[in-house]
Each structure stands twice: as structure tokens, then as C-alpha cells.
Amino acid sequence: MIIDISHVTWERGEDIILDDVSWQVGEREHCCLLGLNGSGKTTLLNMINGYIWPTSGKISVLGHTFGEYDLRELRKSIGWVSTSLQQKLYGSEKALQIVLSGKFSTIGVYDKLEEEDMERARALMDSLGCSSFVERTYDTLSQGERQRVLIARALMNSPKLLILDEPCTGLDIFARESLLSMIDAIAKGKDAPTLIYVTHHVEEILPCFTKTLLLKKGQVYASEATESLMTSDRMGTFFDVPVHIENRYGRYWLSVKGDAWNI
């Protein structure tokens, strides 16, 4: 089992941020995590990466039960691409350096690099369409270019679990589709990591994400095959708004029914 979360609750004062959450993800069972703002997605990811500890319940990631294993070691096998990571990086660093830092899961490179690390970083950048800006500083890159650099960085360590937290935020529609096709290629690759894709948008759910966890107000609303969740009825009840879901070319497209806000 890649992720095994059992009856996890996280309380902050009077507030229950995660409420009796259970979630299992098997090997290469690429999964989407969908929920509106404030539903608890980031909190759950912080927990999977061992940055916060549950008030109650049990967590095991990559077969290691929390509390019995060195989390710093565990994090080396998890690639995590998120906005908070973007904010921590040094803008003056070259894209190649940023990718190389993924080997040590550090911000900046302080350890010795081997020739094969350089080769791997360049090959990853190549496969993610970053070869034209290898030597450019991070702060000169567009949002789409930055996301690709961060994914290359996350893949440096050949992680077993790759978490992509809203990677399409701030991308235009073509940059989004281009990034999604790269993510699809990673999911289908030989020795692919298990992917967790976090989003607010059903349009971004690629066919490779066969399972979906719907999180609502800190609770698991549903965790099952994506196909069975992506119906107008179920998503309308999930969002508490009448919606229409269409499947086109294997992707789901959501529109809010015209009278939902008396438009």
C-alpha cells in the first residue's frame, strides 16, 4: 500500500479540520484529490509528508507507519510539487540547479554532485520540455515553465510517490494542456511513481487518474472509481450546486447550471 490512512482526525482548538478520514492508495493507483477551498486537502498532504501529526488515527506511507520510521528518510521517496515549495525557492538560482537540488530534497545544492546527476537532471528537463531554459534563473521563468522545472526536481530522486498540488494554477489553457500531457506521460512511464493529483477542477482529471477522493469540510465525501463519481447528480450534491458533467475525449467538463445563481 502506498498510502494507508485510517480514521485520522486533526483538531485545532474547537475546530475539526480533518474528521475521521480514511484513505487507501495502492501502488500505481494514480489518484485525484478533489475538494473546494478549505476542504482540508493541504492539511492532508502535510500529514502524508509528516509535517503535521494527527490528533488521532493511524498513517502509513510507502509501507512505513508514522511514529516508527525516520520521516526525513521517508520524504526522500516522496516528490511534492506545491505553491508553498515555489515560494521557498531562490529566484536567482538557475533552473538546472533547482532540478539538481531535488536529489537532496533541499532548497539549494550544498552536497557533492556526480556527473550522472547532471545527466539525469538534463534528461528530465529535456523530457519535460525545459531544455531551452536550463541556464535561466528561476525568477525569469513563466509559471508554466516553473511548474515543469519543479516536476523535474521532484523526479530527480525517482520517488515512489509524486504529489502534484494544483500544478495548473495560473496556467493559460494551452500551457495547462501541455503540462497535463506531460503528467500523463509520467503516469504511463516505466517505473512510474504513484501519482496524487490535487485540484479544484474536474477538467484536469486525466483518464490515468482512475480513483478520486472527494474531500468536503474535512470529511471524506467519497473515495472510489473516478468514473462513478463524475456524474451530474453526484458532483452536484458534492458541490451543493446544480452542475452538468460531460465526458469528452475521456475528460470531464463541468458547467454550472444556468439558474444556480439566478443568472
Ligand X SMILES: Nc1ncnc2c1ncn2[C@@H]1O[C@H](COP(=O)(O)OP(=O)(O)OP(=O)(O)O)[C@@H](O)[C@H]1O
CA atoms of 229 and 223, how far apart (whole Å): 9
Q: Which stretch binds ligand X (CB under 6 A): 41-49, 123-131, 146-154, 231-239?
A: 41-49
- Of 18, 16, 17, nearest to 8 by C-alpha is 18
Residue 256 dihedral angles phi and psi, to the nearest 5°? -85, 130
189 scored as a contact of ligand X (CB under 6 A): no
- Of 186, 165, 168, 185, nearest to 177 by C-alpha is 168
Out of 30, 41, 103, 153, which residue is the one contacting ligand X (CB under 6 A)?
Answer: 41
Nearer to ligand X, 21 or 128 (CB): 21
CA atoms of 39 and 217, how far apart (whole Å): 4
Nearer to ligand X, 39 or 194 (CB): 39
Q: What is the C-alpha radius of gyration for the chain, rounded to an integer number of angstroms?
A: 19
Out of 23, 34, 40, 199, which residue is the one contacting ligand X (CB under 6 A)?
Answer: 40
Provide the minimum distance between the beta carbon of 37 and ligand X in the complex, in angstroms, as a whole number. Answer: 3
CA atoms of 188 and 69, how far apart (whole Å): 30
CB-count exposure of residue 242 (10 Å: 0-12, 13-18, 19+):
middle
Alpha-carbon torsion (224, 226, 229, 235), positive or negative: positive
Site map (CB under 6 A) of ligand X, residues 42-71, x = contact: xx----------------------------
Provide the minimum distance between the beta carbon of 190 and ligand X in the complex, in angstroms, as a whole number. Answer: 32
Out of 26, 38, 63, 67, which residue is the one contacting ligand X (CB under 6 A)?
Answer: 38
CA atoms of 120 and 107, how far apart (whole Å): 18
17 scored as a contact of ligand X (CB under 6 A): yes
Contact status, residue 4 vs residue 24, Cβ threshold 8 Å: yes
CA atoms of 133 and 36, how far apart (whole Å): 34
Site map (CB under 6 A) of ligand X, residues 207-236, x = contact: ------------------------------
Nearer to ligand X, 44 or 195 (CB): 44
Provide the minimum distance between the beta carbon of 213 and ligand X in the complex, in angstroms, as a whole number. Answer: 12
Q: Quote the cell numbers at residue 83.
A: 505553491
12 scored as a contact of ligand X (CB under 6 A): yes
Nearer to ligand X, 102 or 218 (CB): 218
Provide the minimum distance between the beta carbon of 198 and ligand X in the complex, in angstroms, as a whole number. Answer: 8
The 10 Å Cβ neighbour count of residue 106 is 11
With CB under 6 A as the rule, give the number of residues binding ligand X: 11
The residue ranges that bind ligand X (CB under 6 A) are 12, 15, 17, 35, 37-43
